[in-house]
Every structure is written in structure tokens, then in C-alpha cells.
């Protein structure tokens, strides 16, 4: 199935666009990721790595303080990324 959101035609075995026209073209290759998506992805990866390292090494970290530092870093990265994006658009 090429486009999962399109209705399925069980008689012909292939999908057809809902409006009867041609299938929409794929998104352009120059589409950039949003800063927030990158930052939150990095936060989730960092938390996962920290959990694995702490459990495997037998370390004792304060979860609340570690989460606060991660969120502070995420906030700074989002503000900085937004500022850079704003300056590039001008």
C-alpha cells in the first residue's frame, strides 16, 4: 500500500485516491525537521541511555535532579534553536 490514508479498493487490489484524481506527490526532499522534534528526541534518548548506564553500573543518581537538568538543557536548546531559525528567516 503506497498511501495508507487512501481507501482500499478490494476489487482491483490497489489503492485509489479519495478524490478520483492522481495520487499526491511526496513531500519535497528539502523539508526540514523542527527544532522541538529534535530536542525532545534527544531528551528521550538521553533519558534512556542514563537509565541503562545507571542500572548497569550500579550508580545512585537522584532522578528528580537529573530530570530537572535534562529539562533545563532541552529548554535552552529549544530557545536557541528558535532564535537561530528566526534569525535565518529575516
pLDDT one-digit tens code per residue, 70-86: 999 999 998 998 898 88
| Res 69: pLDDT | 92
Q: Do 32 and 39 meet the contact criterion of CB atoms below 8 Å apart?
A: no
pLDDT one-digit tens code per residue, 46-67: 989 988 998 899 888 888 898 8
- With respect to residue 23, please indicate whether it lies within any of the assigned structural domains: no
Segments forming the whole domain that contains residue 68:
33-90
DSSP the chain: ---TTSPEETTTTEE--TTSSPPPPPPPTTPPPPHHHHHHHHHHHHHHHHHHHHHHHT----HHHHHHHHHHHHHHHHHHHHHHHHHHH-
- With respect to residue 56, please indicate whether it lies within any of the assigned structural domains: yes
| Res 90: pLDDT | 75
- With respect to residue 20, please indicate whether it lies within any of the assigned structural domains: no
| Res 34: pLDDT | 81
Counting the structural domains of the chain, the total is: 1
- With respect to residue 9, please indicate whether it lies within any of the assigned structural domains: no
- With respect to residue 58, please indicate whether it lies within any of the assigned structural domains: yes
- With respect to residue 10, please indicate whether it lies within any of the assigned structural domains: no
| Res 25: pLDDT | 56
- With respect to residue 19, please indicate whether it lies within any of the assigned structural domains: no
pLDDT one-digit tens code per residue, 2-48: 555 555 555 555 555 555 555 555 555 555 778 888 888 888 999 89
- With respect to residue 5, please indicate whether it lies within any of the assigned structural domains: no
Amino acid at each position: 500500500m503506497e498511501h495508507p490514508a487512501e481507501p482500499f479498493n478490494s476489487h482491483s487490489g490497489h489503492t485509489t485516491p479519495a478524490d478520483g484524481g492522481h495520487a499526491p506527490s511526496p513531500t519535497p526532499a528539502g523539508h526540514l525537521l523542527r527544532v522541538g522534534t529534535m530536542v525532545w528526541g534527544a531528551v528521550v534518548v538521553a533519558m534512556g541511555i542514563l537509565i541503562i548506564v545507571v542500572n548497569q553500573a550500579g550508580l545512585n543518581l537522584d532522578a528528580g535532579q537529573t530530570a530537572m537538568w535534562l529539562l533545563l538543557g532541552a529548554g535552552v536548546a529549544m530557545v536557541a534553536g528558535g532564535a537561530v531559525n528566526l534569525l535565518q528567516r529575516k
